[in-house]
Amino acid sequence: MNDELAFLAMTALAIARALPVTVLLSVAGALGSSGLAGVLVVAQATRLGRPIAQLWIFVFRGTPLLLQMFMVYYGLAALGPIRHGPLWPAFREPVFCAWLALTCCCSAYIAEVLRAALAAIPKGQIEAALACGMSRWTRVRRIIAPQMLRLALPAYGNELVMLIKSTSLASTITVVDVTGVAQLVIAHSYRTLEVFCLAAAVYLGLTAGLTALLRRLEAKLMEGPRR
Amino acid sequence: MGEDSPAIVLLGFGAEGWGRALIAGAGLTLMVALAAMAIGTVLGAMLTAAQASRWRGLARLATVYGLVLRGVPELLVVLLLYFGAPGLLAWVAALFGLPSPGSPPAFLTGSLAIGLVSAAYQAEVFRGGLIAVPSGQIEAAMAAGMGPVKRFRRIIAPQVLHRVLPPLGNIWQFNLKDSALVSITGLAELMRTSLVAAGSTRRPFLFFVAAMVLYLVLTSASSALFRMLERRGQRWAGPA
Amino acid sequence: MIRAPGPRLVLALVLALGACHATPPPAGLRELVIGTEGAYPPWNFTRADGSLAGFEPEYLRVLCARLHRRCRLVPMDWDGMIGALQTGKIDLIADAVQITPERAAVLAFGRPYGLSTGLTATLRNGALADLPDRDALMDFDRQGPALDAMIARMRKALAGKVVGVALSGAFDTFLNQAIGPGVTVRYYRTMGERDLDLLNGRIDATIEDETYLRPLLATRDGAGLVLGGPRMIGGTMGRGEALAFRRGDNQLRGEFDRAIEATLADDTVRRLGLKWFRMDASPGRGH
């Protein structure tokens, strides 16, 4: 019994040490993919950017993230300009490759969410804003952005939950995150269930925490004048 | 083993080519996704029924199942089944006084893992679909003397199907992509095959591009199929 | 899985009925089923077209021909192989099984047909190209001050370096238990992934069986690699490769032992080693 407790404590400690990696990947991935998604949405409004953005979304939504991770980590590293170019110090690091794959993949999903929200804003509002003589920037700031935020938030939140879960794939390219630690502990101790339950609890905590946060934000946004 | 051969030979169907293995891998990917989808539909329907159940304990259990399986990484579920299944199987075998049968087939544990996750999402979709049928309609059907089968066929199914098909198509796409996670159990589906080919020929870029193309074929073909079904479904359901 | 006893019971009944009518067929006529992983190159691996190839598939063909027995190789995961042997699904295991005391407690090993040691591979121009104790024998079955000193030198040389190994293999255990936290260990699921990272310089070194490393070095990509460090043997790394039989299956084991003896004497094992490992991995070369 004491052995069991000691093992659990040791495992919990190991997982706690890896938690910053998972959190860092989640936060950096959320920032990177949201920014890139914004670029994709804007690009879709231009004639040149439209096909590029659409191809990007098609490829990253149509293939597994695991494959994208391997592509960034092993595939790109095999290319001369990456392997012998100035970017190698970054690509050498598994964490960077995991972040890059996460950012590219999630940006495609988030761009779709944003595009749907943009399409849902009634045309009349924008016309009214134009009629009021609002400048382009004021229009975005006062009419489009707040509406998009409210319309996109639930689906955007779902994507962020997915992103947190997806960070676990970084363990397949040698990143020692929460899932990576869990696998190592199992491989060396042959105890499965308790280790996975601990790791699962961490992810549940993170996703539940984010969901609660988003729900409060949503409630706050709904408080404002609606319809 | 062929690392000096040109791409066309490596991706071809000759003795040195991985073409056949990649196509077979794509077939296996499709099978895993189909099995996971089927498991998810059956279990998901059961979860929806459980959530609507009068027994509060059962309903709560179904809710907790959904929360956990939607909040935990799919990779963790795959790993749990992969590492945990032999022990579980040995335990079950011991109950019947049998020797440990070893590991269950990777296909089974893999599609079960993806199916367990799929069920949690499908249950949500089914629940949403059921809510879409106003209770007044069901009462009216009952008043008109329709039996439960007729009620389901004529009133519930057309409306639910119409609502459920697009999100189910989404879940199918996720199953297809999540099946790549089963590669870590050693099952030679598309992801695993491309990884083994990349490793043994040391041409990762080539084989991962090939795998991406095959995944894109699978995902876009199935999304075209679902769009066709949706159009059919709309016609069948009549004007909503 | 609850249905599992069904077919087995039927089989037992059929066998029992058969026994009433006739004597069982002579053992020489029954096909032998041999378990192998098909994923441990160059000992055994699966070709692009799905066929099994490597040292063991070829060697087993030779052995079976000598014994005048029909044999069939079935690929299966290592996890389930010992269980399959014990439940009689397979008759023997040919999967470069290293002879270790723990395994000898549950399996009956035949005469070894291979003896390979662990070596360190690094990039030719890498930070670890000059490891101490080059080619010295590091025998984990001979505990003592000599071994401890060797491990200490290895620990010092690897300090601060990144070493990649296959997860939960014998070399993983060595790095974890003997070398300790001074070295960063990266774990890989397949050897192919580890090779890619070794070649592109993400890891400083790997420790692997010489029989795997020699053919890698012979490829165009592997030309940039060098082997170094002590030759590791014994302990969890085992003392040679052998076929594994069910305990008590002495007749079959005896037959195979005689055939292995003959192939060692007539140079077959050495010849196959040069073909698949690019080295002679037959036992009894003085280790």
Partner C, chain B 155-184, Cβ-Cβ below 8 Å:
184
**Nearest-10 crossing angle of helices A49-62, A2-44:** 160
pLDDT, position C21: 42
Residues C245 and C110 sit within 8 Å (Cβ to Cβ): yes
Residue in this structure with the two tokens 């069910």, named with its chain if needed: C246
In this complex, the residue of C172, C193, C201 whose CB is nearest that of residue A74 is C193
Q: Are residues C265 and C233 part of one domain? A: no
Query: How far is B199 from chain A, CA to nearest CA, in Å?
Result: 9
Query: How far is A191 from chain C, CA to nearest CA, in Å?
Result: 13
In this complex, the residue of A77, A78, A188 whose CB is nearest that of residue C176 is A188
Residues of C whose CB is below 8 A from A188: 168, 176
Please report which helix (H) or strand (E) contains residue B67, including its range. helix B56-71
Residues A60 and B194 sit within 8 Å (Cβ to Cβ): no
> Would the CB atoms of A174 and C167 count as touching at under 8 Å?
no
Average pLDDT of chain A?
92
> Would the CB atoms of C83 and B98 count as touching at under 8 Å?
no
Give Cα C276 distance to the centre of its chain.
13
Q: How far apart are CA C206 and CA C163, in angstroms?
A: 5
> Would the CB atoms of A184 and C202 count as touching at under 8 Å?
no
> Would the CB atoms of C202 and A94 count as touching at under 8 Å?
yes
Q: How far apart are CA A36 and CA A61, in angstroms?
A: 14
- C248 is written with which tokens? 């008590």
pLDDT, position C3: 32
**pLDDT tens for residues A181-201?**
999 998 888 788 889 999 999
Residues A70 and A172 sit within 8 Å (Cβ to Cβ): yes
> Would the CB atoms of B199 and C192 count as touching at under 8 Å?
yes
> Would the CB atoms of A172 and C189 count as touching at under 8 Å?
yes
**pLDDT tens for residues C218-266?**
999 999 999 999 999 998 888 899 999 999 999 999 999 999 999 999 9
- B14 is written with which tokens? 């000759």
pLDDT, position C23: 43
pLDDT, position C18: 40
pLDDT, position C286: 45
Q: How many residues does chain C have?
A: 287
Poorest-confidence range of A5-19, A124-138, C212-226?
Answer: A124-138
pLDDT interval class at B37 (50, 70, 90) = very high
Residues C106 and C82 sit within 8 Å (Cβ to Cβ): yes
pLDDT interval class at C5 (50, 70, 90) = very low
Q: What is the domain partition of chain A in residue ranges?
A: 2-223
> Would the CB atoms of A78 and B74 count as touching at under 8 Å?
no
Average pLDDT, stretch B59-70? Answer: 95
ipTM for the whole complex: 0.91
pLDDT, position A27: 98
Query: For A2-223, which CATH class?
Result: mainly alpha
In this complex, the residue of A74, A92, A174 whose CB is nearest that of residue C187 is A174
> Would the CB atoms of B101 and C87 count as touching at under 8 Å?
yes
CATH for C228:
3.40.190.10
Q: Considering only alpha carbons, which residue of chain A is nearest residue C196?
A: A74
> Would the CB atoms of B20 and C50 count as touching at under 8 Å?
yes
pLDDT, position B238: 52
Residues B11 and B22 sit within 8 Å (Cβ to Cβ): yes
pLDDT, position C84: 85
Average pLDDT of chain C?
86
**Position C19 in a domain:** no
Hey, of B11, B82, B103, B205, which one would you mutate to test binding to chain C, going by the most C CBs within 10 A of its CB? Answer: B103
**pLDDT tens for residues A6-15?**
999 999 999 9
Whether the predicted pLDDT of C94 surpasses 80: yes
User: Please, which residues have CB within 8 angstroms of residue C285's CB and are 6 or more apart in sequence?
Assistant: C115
Give Cα C26 distance to the centre of its chain.
32
**pLDDT tens for residues A28-43?**
999 999 999 999 999 9
In the Cβ-directed half-sphere of C257, how many Cα atoms lie within 13 Å? 12
User: Please, which residues have CB within 8 angstroms of residue A160's CB and are 6 or more apart in sequence?
Assistant: A30, A210, A214
Whether the predicted pLDDT of A129 surpasses 60: yes
Average pLDDT, stretch C80-95? Answer: 89
Chains that touch B (3 or more CB pairs under 8 A): A, C
Report the percentage of chain B scoring pLDDT > 70: 93
Q: Considering only alpha carbons, which residue of chain A is nearest residue B201?
A: A78
Poorest-confidence range of B150-159, B202-211, C206-215?
Answer: B150-159
Residue in this structure with the two tokens 């969410």, named with its chain if needed: A113
For B28-190+217-237, CATH number? 1.10.3720.10
Q: What is the domain partition of chain B in residue ranges?
A: 28-190+217-237
Query: How far is C170 from chain A, CA to nearest CA, in Å?
Result: 11
Amino acid present at A105:
C
> Would the CB atoms of B212 and A71 count as touching at under 8 Å?
yes
> Would the CB atoms of B15 and C49 count as touching at under 8 Å?
yes
Strand partners, C45: C39, C53
Please, what is the end-to-end C-alpha distance for chain C in angstroms? 47
Cis peptide before C42 (omega within 30 of 0): yes
- The chain C residues in contact with chain A (CB within 8 A) are 164, 167-168, 172, 176, 186-189, 193, 196-197, 200-202
Q: Are residues C123 and C229 part of one domain? A: yes
pLDDT, position C284: 73
Kindly report the number of other CB atoms within 10 A of residue B176's CB atom.
Answer: 26
pLDDT, position B230: 83
Residues A175 and A94 sit within 8 Å (Cβ to Cβ): yes
pLDDT, position C20: 40
pLDDT, position C64: 96
> Would the CB atoms of B209 and A58 count as touching at under 8 Å?
no
Q: Are residues C271 and C233 part of one domain? A: no
Poorest-confidence range of A44-58, B28-42, C76-90?
Answer: C76-90
**pLDDT tens for residues C150-177?**
999 999 999 999 999 988 778 988 998 8
Number of domains in chain C: 2
Torsion sign, CA atoms A104, A106, A109, A113: negative
Q: Give the C-alpha distances (Å, rounded to integers) separating B138 from B49, B50, B158.
A: 17, 20, 13
In the Cβ-directed half-sphere of B118, how many Cα atoms lie within 13 Å? 32
Residues of A whose CB is below 8 A from B194: 67
Q: How far apart are CA B22 and CA B187, in angstroms?
A: 13
Residues B122 and B168 sit within 8 Å (Cβ to Cβ): yes
> Would the CB atoms of A62 and B220 count as touching at under 8 Å?
yes
**Position C10 in a domain:** no
Q: What is the DSSP string of A8-19?
A: HHHHHHHHHHHH
Hey, of C125, C177, C202, C206, which one would you mutate to test binding to chain A, going by the most A CBs within 10 A of its CB? Answer: C202
Helix (DSSP H) and strand (DSSP E) numbers for chain B: 10, 0
Interior/surface letters C32-44, b for 16+ CB within 10 angstroms, e for the rest? bbbbbbbbbbbbb
Q: Are residues C102 and C66 part of one domain? A: yes
Hey, of B109, B205, B216, B219, which one would you mutate to test binding to chain A, going by the most A CBs within 10 A of its CB? Answer: B205
Domain holding C209, by residue range, is: 118-237
Q: How many contacts (CB atoms, under 8 Å) link B and C?
A: 77
Residues of A whose CB is below 8 A from B198: 70, 74-75
**Position C11 in a domain:** no
Average pLDDT, stretch B204-219? Answer: 97
Please report which helix (H) or strand (E) contains residue A52, including its range. helix A49-62
Q: Tell me the three state secondary structure of residue B92.
A: helix
Poorest-confidence range of A155-159, B8-12, B133-137, C185-189?
Answer: B133-137
pLDDT, position C15: 40
More confident residue, A213 or B154: A213
pLDDT, position A224: 61
In this complex, the residue of A66, A70, A196 whose CB is nearest that of residue B181 is A66
pLDDT, position A207: 96
Hey, of A158, A165, A175, A178, which one would you mutate to test binding to chain B, going by the most B CBs within 10 A of its CB? Answer: A165
Q: Tell me the three state secondary structure of residue A45.
A: coil
> Would the CB atoms of B180 and A66 count as touching at under 8 Å?
yes
Residues of A whose CB is below 8 A from C200: 77-78, 83
> Would the CB atoms of B216 and A59 count as touching at under 8 Å?
yes
- SS3 for chain C is CCCCHHHHHHHHHHHHHHHHHCCCCCHHHCCEEEEECCEECCCEEECCCCCEECHHHHHHHHHHHHHCCCEEEEECCHHHHHHHHHCCCCCEEEEEEECCHHHHCCCEECCCCECCCEEEEEECCCCCCCCCCCCCEEECCCCCHHHHHHHHHHHHHHCCCEEEEECCCHHHHHHHHHHHHHCEEEEECCHHHHHHHHHCCCCCEEEEEHHHHHHHHCCCHHHHEEEEEEEEECHHHCCCEEEEECCCCHHHHHHHHHHHHHHHHCCHHHHHHHHHCCCCCCCCCCC
Q: Considering only alpha carbons, which residue of chain C is nearest residue B184?
A: C189
Average pLDDT, stretch B222-238? Answer: 79
Hey, of A69, A74, A174, which one would you mutate to test binding to chain C, going by the most C CBs within 10 A of its CB? Answer: A174
Q: How many residues does chain B have?
A: 240
